[in-house]
Amino acid sequence: MAKNKRNLALAWYRQDQWQLLLDYSTDSDKLACTYQEWLEHAEEKVKEISNEGLNVVKVAIDVEDMKKWCERSDKLIDGSTRSEYAVFLAQNNLNIL
């Protein structure tokens, strides 16, 4: 019997919201300066993760919606929270690409 691949939720951003993400994130210095840089890195990560036997679930992130979610949860927007939000959406079958 074949084993099912485990899923890994990966936040996926839109180019038109990249600057907004940088503006809202408390750790923007750790993010790529441009959307193109982020996209290239993200696509490499998808390949890496897939090669490790995991199924990548791209989760479309609307930065304004994430900001509202963070405000309701009293969280800052940082790497940990961005990941948590992507998992929350994926677990609820929302915004899956």
Nearest to 92 by CA among 64, 57, 63, 68: 57
pLDDT tens-digit profile of 34-74? 999 999 999 999 999 999 999 999 999 999 999 999 999 99
Answer yes or no: is pLDDT of 1 > 70: no
Structure confidence at residue 2 as a pLDDT band (50, 70, 90): very low
List C-alpha distances in Å: 42 to 5, 32, 69, 75: 20, 10, 23, 24
Domain assignments of the chain as residue spans, ordered by start:
7-91
